[in-house]
Amino acid sequence: MIPEREKKKLLRTGFTTGACAAAAARAAAISLIKQEAVMRTEIDLPGDGSAGFAIERCVFDGSQASCTVIKDAGDDPDATHGVEIQATVCWQDEPGITIFGGKGVGVVTKPGLEMPPGTAAINPVPRQMIERSVKEILQNRPATKGVEVTISVNGGEKLAEKTLNPRLGIVGGISILGTTGIIIPYSVNAYKATIARALDIAIACGCRQVVLTTGRRSEKFAQNGMALPEECFVQVGDFVGYSLEQCVDKKISRVTIWGMTGKISKLAAGHLYTNISDSQVDIGFLVGVAADCGLPEEKINDLKEAVTANHLRRILPEQYIKKFCDKLCQLAAVKCYEKTEGKLEIDCIMSDYHGAMLGRSHAR
Mention every residue, 6+ apart, whose C-beta is less than 8 A from residue 341: 248
Segments in the chain below pLDDT 70: 1-11, 185-187, 190, 276-278
Task: Please report the pLDDT score of residue 236 as a whole number.
Answer: 92
pLDDT digits (tens, 9 = 90+) for 264-277: 999 999 999 877 66
Task: Please report the pLDDT score of residue 193 as a whole number.
Answer: 78
In this structure, are residues 290 and 303 in contact, taking their beta carbons and an 8 Å threshold?
Answer: yes
CA distance 182 to 149: 22
What domains appear along the chain, each with residue ranges and CATH number?
4-183 (3.30.2110.10), 188-363 (3.40.1050)
CA distance 228 to 200: 16
Query: Which helix (H) or strand (E) is 152 found in, with range?
Result: strand 146-153
Concatenating the DSSP letter of every residue in 83-101 gives -EEEEEEEEESSSSEEEEE
CA distance 97 to 22: 13
CA distance 179 to 28: 22
CA distance 5 to 343: 30
pLDDT digits (tens, 9 = 90+) for 173-184: 999 998 888 877
pLDDT digits (tens, 9 = 90+) for 301-335: 999 989 899 999 999 999 999 999 999 999 999 99
Distance, C-alpha 115 to centroid of its chain = 13
* Angle subtended by helix axes 261-268 and 318-339, to nearest 10: 50
Task: Please report the pLDDT score of residue 142 as a whole number.
Answer: 75
In this structure, are residues 173 and 156 in contact, taking their beta carbons and an 8 Å threshold?
Answer: yes
